[in-house]
């Protein structure tokens, strides 16, 4: 197996692994985690964060070396998309509740 891949490949792979681990950490979490399950979920979550950060760093290095291809952008796109989702969903829900509350007052 050829291990000498460019930074774009590794950043893409790292970001996709981070996204998968983040989804898995939420999918396997029970309603009320207790004991070792809590530690397992925390390990999955922080490993996902680590992979996403490594993907961003790898993508930055790929851009610095001016690598060809689109793989280098995935390493930055996925963490930004996740952050936008985490930030915008509560804001949009709040706006929806405000609009719904104001329409019921009329």
Number of domains in the chain: 1
Domain assignment present for 43: yes
Domain assignment present for 99: yes
Domain assignment present for 51: yes
Domain assignment present for 37: yes
Average pLDDT, the chain: 85
The answer to whether 6 and 62 have CB atoms below 8 angstroms apart is: yes
Q: Rounded to whole angstroms, how far apart are CA atoms 78 and 16? A: 8
Domain assignment present for 1: no
Domain assignment present for 98: yes
Domain assignment present for 2: no
Domain range for 60 is 7-104
pLDDT along the chain (106 residues), means of 10: 73 92 88 87 93 91 84 84 88 86 63
Domain assignment present for 17: yes
Query: Taking the model in full, what pTM does it have?
Result: 0.78
């Amino acid at each position: 197996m050829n291990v000498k891949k460019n930074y774009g490949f590794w950043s893409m792979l790292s970001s996709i692994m981070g996204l998968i681990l983040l989804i898995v950490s939420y999918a396997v979490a029970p309603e009320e985690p207790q004991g070792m399950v809590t530690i397992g979920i925390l390990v999955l979550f922080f490993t996902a964060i680590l992979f996403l950060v490594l993907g961003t760093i790898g993508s930055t290095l790929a851009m610095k070396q001016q690598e060809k291809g689109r793989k280098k952008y995935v390493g930055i796109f996925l963490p930004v998309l996740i952050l936008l989702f985490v930030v915008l969903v509560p804001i949009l829900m709040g706006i929806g509740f405000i609009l719904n509350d104001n329409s019921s007052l009329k």
